A and B are shown apart, each in its own frame.
Chain A
Amino acid sequence: MHELSIVASVLDQLEEIRKQQPAGARFTKVGLRVGELAGLDVDCLRFGYECSVKDTPWETMALEIEEVPRRQRCPKCANEFRAANWATQCPQCGETETELIAGEELQIAFVEVDE
């Protein structure tokens, strides 16, 4: 529901990065990293992005999204495993109180620049 504000925050940060580039540098792609637990709908994010860049200098910049699945670590047997949101029990030893190690990301990973 707040995907548009997320896109606005991305573009604000890119504007700051663009100012540090040589004049005429053109961003061709931006890479975002979105965790499964980030609370964002990726399709909605893509749609919000398309609407936000349309008729702006960002229009030709492609969007790449890396979706990061939830992962847990078992404190008992050190097993690290992919966990669907509710399947957090360690599949190796049965421990229920495992720790979250990935899946909350909401980051700008990179931008590609055409100089």
Chain B
Amino acid sequence: MSQIVVEKKVLNENQKLAEELRAKFREHKILVVNIISSPGSGKTTLLERTLERLDKGRRVRLLTGDLQTENDAKRLAQWGFPVKQIITGGTCHLDAKMITKHLEDWPLDTFDMLIIENVGNLVCPTSYDLGEHFKIVMLSVTEGEDKPLKYPSIFVRSELMLLSKVDLLPYLSFDAELAKKNARSVHPGMEIIETSSKGNGLDTWIAWLDAKIKAVKSGELVSA
């Protein structure tokens, strides 16, 4: 009997495709963000309110993932930016192959930012690199303050947490400070922006994205 030392990532194939995507995004200086949350936290609504505020000349494109329906792509398309729905047909996450396939007919020199809205799920999307610069996790105030403790992996890997639906705080017993403290104990120093569909934090969030787009353009932000 002999032992072969393998020492390879289990998701080697996905990783290879993600690295290819990353190289392309780097070449064309495109900022790519991958937004992840539980179902119903408000990813699509936040994106609608974001797109609504963006100048129509902005070079932004979106990919949105769901198990079924084109509903989200239809909602997002209303704001005038190119959107494609990725229907996973039951798969609980997006992978790099799906992203590669859906980018095939989008010339990469025609946009500065790609927003990927992942399938609503706090677990599985965490494992799949899509070639993005940043994962962004959203937690809504109608969930529990302890979600960062229950699902640490995604909070550890996300650059930013969006605490959504904060306009509802007066009606809930949700302790926003405790939720933030939990997120930062799982991920020390994590950036957090409070948002709502009524407008809270949207300027800060858009400024965050703009700063990252600028950093990608100037070469200051290069994803490894």
Contact = CB atoms under 8 A, between A and B. Distances in A.
Interface residues of B, number: 35
A96 B188 CA distance: 6
Contacts of A109: 5-7
A2 to B, nearest CB: 4
Nearest to A28: B1
Contacts of A88: 185-186, 188
A110 B121 CA distance: 31
Given A2-B127, A110-B5, A112-B2, A86 B12 contact: no
- With most chain B CB atoms within 10 A of its CB, the pick from A1, A2, A87 is A2
Contacts, number: 102
B189 A106 contact: no
Given A86-B185, A110-B3, A10 B152 contact: no
Given A1-B123, A2-B92, A113-B4, A85 B149 contact: yes
Interface of A is mostly: mixed
Contacts of A62: none
B50 interface: no
Interface in B1-36: 1-14
Contacts of B126: 39
B1 A114 contact: yes
Given A106-B9, A107-B7, A112-B2, A1 B182 contact: no
A5 to B, nearest CB: 8
Contacts of A59: none
Contacts of B2: 112-113, 115
Interface of A: 1-2, 5-6, 9-10, 12-13, 17, 28, 32, 37-40, 85-89, 96-100, 104, 106-115
Given A9-B13, A13-B6, A106-B9, 15 more contacts: A1-B121, A2-B92, A2-B127, A37-B152, A86-B152, A88-B185, A89-B185, A96-B188, A106-B127, A107-B7, A108-B6, A108-B8, A110-B7, A111-B6, A114-B1
